[in-house]
Amino acid sequence: MTAKKTSPTLAQDRKSGRGRPRAFDADAAVDTAMTLFHRRGYDAVGVAELAEAIGVNPPSLYAAFGSKKGLFERALERYQESGGGFVARTLAEEGNLAELIGRVFLRAAETYSAADSLPGCLVLDSTRNCSDPEIRAVTDALRAEGREHIRRRIAREFPRAAEVLTDYVLVTLSGLSAAARDGMDPAALRRSAQIAADGFAAQLGGKG
């Protein structure tokens, strides 16, 4: 068996009592980073702030996650695994298309305005004004993946209208996220989601 090597930086941190603590919790670090990125956006959160919030020094943060981008990608994964992945999970449920999309809209309103979480969607909002094209590409890819997932489900019942109906769904989700971030009352957000769901169902008449 080969002994696990410890990087010089982390070893020095442990000896000096600085930076990464002995019981470093990577999952907790990712949760902390996810909160910061969600609250303020990728560009506004610096490495020094991330390191301080997590309880490490910047070299230790790089040792643990590779880069700020690497930590952001981990945060996005965590978000999708938790509340942020509700769209794919909802579309996998039983029900016709109108029922499923209605649930998506209502769950979006609930998720984006939940009292125990930050408003809006991390994927949709965290890189909206980002100056780094590599980071924008990360969330662009997630949005494209989500769009295709929605389009495929719509196409199962309404293939000829799949593109325009997918656009309807994405515009609605983006609007609900933006409204939540702007502080719309959760009850009002849910009412808007229901109106959007009714509108989507109405659009299905005569399509196929």
* Percent of the chain's residues with pLDDT above 90: 77
pLDDT single digits (tens) 120-157: 999 999 998 898 999 999 999 999 999 999 999 999 99
Complete domains list, the chain, with CATH: 18-79 (1.10.10.60), 84-203 (1.10.357.10)
The pLDDT value given to residue 208:
55
What is the Cα Rg of the chain in Å? 20
pLDDT single digits (tens) 51-108: 999 999 999 899 999 999 999 999 999 999 988 899 999 999 999 999 999 999 999 9
Asked if residues 64 and 56 have their Cβ atoms less than 8 Å apart, the reply is: yes
pTM: 0.83
The pLDDT value given to residue 207:
65
Q: How far apart are CA 88 and CA 126, in angstroms?
A: 20
The pLDDT value given to residue 12:
43
Amino acid identity at 157: E
The pLDDT value given to residue 150:
97
Which residue has tokens 């981008």?
Answer: 69
Q: In this model, does residue 184 exceed pLDDT 50?
A: yes
Angle at 77 between CA 82 and CA 64, to 5 degrees: 120
Phi/psi class of residue 126: alpha, beta or left (left: φ > 0; alpha: ψ in -120 to 50)? alpha
Q: In this model, does residue 181 exceed pLDDT 80?
A: yes
Q: How far apart are CA 59 and CA 48, in angstroms?
A: 10
